[in-house]
């Protein structure tokens, strides 16, 4: 989780469905967090 929960939620809901599915299905590793934040 990023320092800002609101920013994380905004990024989550504005992301493409394919990205959102990856974020939902996999535990968020540091690599994914750096890639999508």
Q: How far apart are CA 25 and CA 6, in angstroms?
A: 20
SS3 category, 14? helix
Q: Where are the domains of the chain?
A: 5-36
Backbone angles phi, psi at 14, to 5 degrees: -95, -5
Q: What is the pLDDT of residue 15?
A: 63
Q: What is the pLDDT of residue 24?
A: 62
pTM summary value: 0.22
Q: What is the pLDDT of residue 3?
A: 58
pLDDT digits (tens, 9 = 90+) for 1-37: 455 666 666 665 666 667 666 666 656 667 766 666 5
**What is the CB-side half-sphere exposure of residue 23 using CA atoms within 13 A?**
18
Q: How many CB atoms lie within 10 A of CB 23?
A: 17
Q: What is the pLDDT of residue 6?
A: 66
């Amino acid at each position: 989780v990023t320092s800002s929960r609101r920013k994380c939620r905004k990024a989550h809901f504005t992301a493409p469905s394919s990205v959102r599915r990856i974020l939902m299905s996999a535990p968020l590793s540091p690599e994914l967090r750096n890639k999508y934040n």
